[in-house]
Structure 1
Amino acid sequence: MHIESGNPQDTAASARPRIGRRALLSAGAVLAAGAGAAAATALGRDPAAAPAATPPAVVPHHGARQSGLTYRQLPATRLLALDLPEAADRDALRGLLAAVDKVLAAAADGSLADPRLSAAPISSLAAVGPALAARLKLPAPAELAELPAFPGDRLDAGRSGGDLLLQVSAEHPWTTGVLTEHLLAAAKPSGATLRWNQAGFLPSVPDGETPRNLFGFKDGSANPDPADPGLWNADGTILVYRRIRMDTAAFAALPADRQELSMGRRLMSGAPLTGAAEHDDPDIYVKHPDGSYVIPVDAHVRLSSPRLDGGARMLRRGYSYDDTPDDRGLLFCAFMRDPALFTRVQNRLAANDALNPFLTHTASATAWVLPGSHPDRPLGATL
């Protein structure tokens, strides 16, 4: 688990010049607002005192990079891993990606015909696993590879890997569930089968505030800008996914000061032990008068510090999950040009992290996040 993360994603999202389901819903909202104002006047209240409802943002699906990386993190997510038949070739993969892209584009602009979908922002991404890339000799980044085994891993093969990884995010789990149905239906003609799926969430927090993970700590306090060229390879990048079970009860039983020393941050403010505010840069070299480090040598923040990797950072967009009372934790999703960065960090954590007694890595995957699509060039068209 790595909590040195944040999400300064671009929140700009312009509506498309079309009349679709979202436009009709917006028109209905205007009519409803007018009726409400009339009723307020009849009751002697000032209708101007009631704030106007803000229409949901429309996330542009098409662009140089996929919206699942460029738009802000939405509170509900669903990850899907599909496997293609052994006989599948590049044409089969292109057909599958085109069908998936059609669903995602329609969902994003509000034209997907499904009465269960309401006007709401939707972001998504699609990524190709290393085994499929190698089998089809795709022009994937040379750095794309499976992760090595790490000490302490307890990986479930049925929850790991996959030929094609999809992620859809929205304001509500309902939306991601409905979209899952459409994506699986779109994938069926290609013979693709569902390998695993995983739902995740973020807690509701005010705009600009960092959400907390299931240990109660703020999770997302330092992250590179998504536009950082060090993250990208021709508008694509590489996803590292880890499903990490957290022993929340055992961690909660620790005294607060022990929790903070294990994490390297203050519980309430999120500030590093060497700073006063959440977004202060953790200084892993500051010492107490007795020579001991202020951020302990086994603190999570120290071992995952970019200072130990020449300043290299990952773009982290993690989610919590809560599948059963004894299976809750973190869906660690990080994006980088070279997953060797994650391997270096995870080796340090696996060897010395004070959080290790409370964490179990139960699933893993890497995948090449493709460049974005355009109306006349669906996902995978250039493969």
Structure 2
Amino acid sequence: MTTRRQFFGYAGAAAAGAAATGGAVVALDNDTAEAPVSRTISPYGEHQAGIARAAPAVAELVSFKLGTDRAGLGRLMRLWTSDIIALADGRAAPGDTAPELAVANKSLTVTVGFGPRVFELTGQRPPGLDDLPVMKHDRLQPAWSGGDLLVMVGADDAVSVVHAVRRLIADAKPFATPIWRQTGFWDSTGPDGKPVTGRNLFGQVDGTGNPAFGTPEFDQTVWSADGPDWFRGGTTLVVRRIRLNLDTWDELTRSEQERAVGRKLSTGAPLTGTAEHDELDLEARDADGRPVIAQNAHARLSHHSENDGRRIFRKGLNYVHDTGATRESGLIFLSHQADVAGQFLPLLARLDAVDALNEWTTTIGSAVFALPPGFQPGEWLGQKLLT
């Protein structure tokens, strides 16, 4: 027997088909019709689902101040885990006041991080999770810095992100309060629809030197294999909000911009190569005997060969922040590594000292978080830490 709900479901589907085909309802041949590609990302796994993938098209990061104890934090993690499972699947989370905005196939991921306050409650701080010192070129603002908890929501569209963030903040109310929110965007798709590295607002191809997903190099760079048992398979995240001075950058010639970076703006190739992923030739000299890739070029200073083999996995999110008629543009820099102190800090110190890009960039926000490993069905985020 067909129920009333099933009847209206069939009728709605038929009406939608008629609208799309000028009034005729068309039956698709299952043998020839191309099945839609699923963009649903499973929330389950050894690692949190949003980490080992390209930057999302749209993302929002929310940092929270904790107002609860360890038991309360455990309750919040159970709530958020339930939310994450529903939202990733395109279903309304319990208590959702706008369930129609929970839509499937939006590549939605939610990543959760723990700040220093969490480890005051638990006493199980991961090794190498050091607070970042204020660097010489930093001009940090409290409005964009620190935090006890972090959620980062990414998806293919802004509506899905805004809806998910609203749900997560609502469920956090008894336990934690937002202290800053940062929204960004990234384009990781080329004109032909294939994945590309993406560009920041300076026009640079940004992130070329990353280790490839699924390789031993990636795993060694990103995932923690040491420290407390609860953190095995987790990673650390550094969030740096970097203001870009586009006005003075635009005053440079194209060759000056490329020399500061050490790469060609057209393709992202090193100045010593022709394709984006060509290796840098740091010994190459020009006709005047100068290094082709300058000693203070960003690409040279950040290269693993110049940093005792240290690597990070970086992502970027472009942002614009409007205040009346004034617009600030910049980059939300996200760095994943197993060990902040051992991998990120030495690289940051090197860049802060002499990087040519320091003339056009200013870091105005900074925070560090430990991202716990993922969860399987029947489990919840941070379970090993909080039970």
Change (3 A) 1:25 1:249: farther
Give the 5 Å matches for 1:225-236: 225-227=212-214, 228-230=218-220, 231-233=222-224, 234-236=232-234
State the AA in 1 paired with 2:139.
Answer: R
> Equivalent residue for 2:48?
66
Contact 2:70–2:121 (Cα < 8 Å) also in 1: yes
SS in 1 for 2:369: strand
Which residue in the other structure is 1:337 paired with?
338
Name the CA shift for 1:91/1:252 in 2 (closer, same or farther; >3 Å).
same
Gaps of 5+ in 1: 1-23
Identify the match of residue 201 of structure 1 among 185, 200, 220. Answer: 185
Query: What's the counterpart of residue 255 of structure 2?
Result: 257
CA distance in 2, matches of 1:221, 1:25: 47
Does 2:315 correspond to 1:317?
yes
The CA distance in 2 between the partners of 1:26 and 1:184, in whole Å, is 36
Shift of residue 189, structure 1, vs aligned partner: 2.2
* TM-score of the aligned structures, taking structure 2 as reference length: 0.84
CA distance in 2, matches of 1:25, 1:307: 60
The secondary structure found in structure 2 opposite 1:194 is strand
State the match for 2:293 in structure 1. Answer: 295
Q: Which residue of 2 aligns with 1:121?
A: 107
**Equivalence map 1:144-159=2 (5 Å):** 144-159=129-144
The structure 2 residue matched to 1:358, chosen from 341, 357, 360, is: 360
Aligned with 1:184: secondary structure? helix
One-letter code of the match for 1:197? R
Q: 1:14 — aligned with what? A: none
Once the two structures are superposed, what CA deviation does each residue of 1:332-374 show, in whole Å capped at 9, x if it has no partner?
0010011122221121111111111110100000100001022
In percent, how many aligned pairs have the same letter? 35
C-alpha displacement of 1:52? 5.2
* Residue identity in the other structure for 2:158: P
CA distance in 2, matches of 1:30, 1:338: 55
Q: Taking CA–CA contacts closer than 8 Å with sequence separation of 6 or more, which of the two structures ends up with the larger relative contact order? A: 1
Q: C-alpha distance in 2, partners of 1:184/1:69?
A: 21
Q: Is the 8 A contact 2:17 2:25 kept in 1?
A: no
Pairing 1:224–2:211 present: yes
After superposition, the C-alpha distances for 1:182-229 in whole angstroms (9 at most, x for unaligned) are 001111122x11111100001363222222110011112221134423
List structure 1 segments (4+ residues) > 6 angstroms apart after TM superposition.
24-31
Counterparts of 1:25 and 1:146, CA distance in 2? 54
Distance 2:264 2:9 in 1: 44
Work out the CA distance in 2 between the residues paired with 1:25 and 1:202: 36
Q: Which amino acid aligns with 1:283?
A: D
Q: Letter of the 1:195 partner, please give it.
A: I
Task: Tell me, in whole angstroms, the C-alpha distance in 2 between the residues paired with 1:28 and 1:355.
Answer: 56
Please, what TM-score do these two structures have when normalized by structure 1? 0.85
Aligned residue for 2:100, secondary structure, equals: coil
- After TM superposition, give the deviation of residue 36 of structure 1 in Å: 4.0
Deviation of 1:165 after TM superposition, in Å, equals 0.8
Q: CA deviation at 1:149?
A: 1.5
| Aligned residue type for 2:257 | Q
Q: What SS does structure 2 have at the residue aligned with 1:326? A: strand
Q: 2:197 aligns with which of 210, 225, 229?
A: 210
Q: Read off the aligned partner of 2:350 and give its amino acid letter.
A: R
The gaps in structure 2 that reach 5 residues or longer are 1-7, 94-98, 225-231
